[in-house]
Amino acid sequence: MAAVLEIENLKKAYPGGMVALDGVTLAIEAGEIFALLGPNGAGKTTLIGLVCGLIRKSSGSMKLFGIDLAVDSLGPRSSVGLVPQEVNFDPFFTARESLEIQLGYYGRPPDPKRINEMLQALALQDRADVPTRALSGGMKRRLLIAKALVHRPRLVFLDEPTAGVDVELRRDLWAYVRKLRDGGTTVVLTTHYLEEAEALADRIGIIDHGKLLVLEGKESLMQRLGERRLEVRFATPLRELPVALRWGSLEDDGKRFVFLERHGEGPRAAALLAHIYGHGLAVVDVSTERAHLEDVMIQILRSGGGQL
């Protein structure tokens, strides 16, 4: 697939020596959900601001839809949408009026049909004609997304789109993000809810202190760095492990066997479980748990991206 966004050696430094973005290079492909993850102050919002023209770069290059933004800074950006972290609409306009104004910002003609479509898609139709100051927090988040999408962008940035919203609304927004991707829209997502990124992302970039530490497909990353924990509880405590099981350890005075499966290191958990039953050991309970993206991200941040 062709890249909709290509960034090469992008840097943003401020007077006084603070470097917010330090030589980031990446390409985001058409029709993917790309999760850009990292701790507060890592450089995520800076990168988005640079691409969207809200911040000036110090050096490096950016191409949107194959067009160098140093040559044409406005044309390609007219096909980009942004859901910011903060509410950015006038509280005295209605939701409908806010969308009408947003179309005008992008040079689009009035389009009542498109506005109604967005109001319905984000469950705002019943509150479309009341001042936005009267909307709940969740509805304000929905309106931010509608504003970012009303002009039909090919690339949309969702910067913490579900911050502070309830679980039901978060799940609704997940479904809508998948629908966007299925319709051909490229989505760049930043979030501190890592289960959100794990559920939605096709690829993941992890950034810290302005440097891109990891850029990899989600499934590949989870297989490479994720662990699977096998825990087996025995009816009778074991004094020692059979040789075939010495990849794991005995705990609770021999009542419990614990093994961490790592990709490419040692046997698989299923093979050890087969050995346990093959030795005729009396098993009371078996449980397995797969590592989550949160565990993998902590591992990457602690290592600084090296030796992984």
- Across the chain, which has 308 residues, the per-10-residue mean pLDDT values are 90 93 95 94 94 95 96 95 88 94 93 94 92 91 92 94 80 88 94 90 95 94 86 92 89 92 80 90 90 88 72
pLDDT for residue 1: 56
Tell me, what's the pLDDT at 308?
55
Q: How far is CA 160 from CA 195, 226, 233, 259, in A?
A: 13, 25, 42, 36
Give the pair of three-digit tokens for residue 125. 């139709």
Contacts of 226 (CB under 8 A, 6+ apart): 263, 290, 291, 292, 295, 296
Helix runs in the chain, H state only: 44-52, 95-105, 112-121, 137-149, 167-182, 194-200, 218-225, 269-278, 293-303
pLDDT at 283: 93
Q: What does each C-alpha distance from 286 to 41, 90, 240, 267, 304 come to in angstroms? A: 42, 56, 19, 17, 35
pLDDT of residue 50: 96
Q: Do 201 and 217 contact (CB within 8 A), yes or no?
A: no
Q: Rounded distance, CA 243 to CA 267, Å? A: 13
Give pTM, 2 decimals: 0.83
What pLDDT score was predicted for residue 138?
86
CB atoms < 10 A from the CB of 140, how many? 17
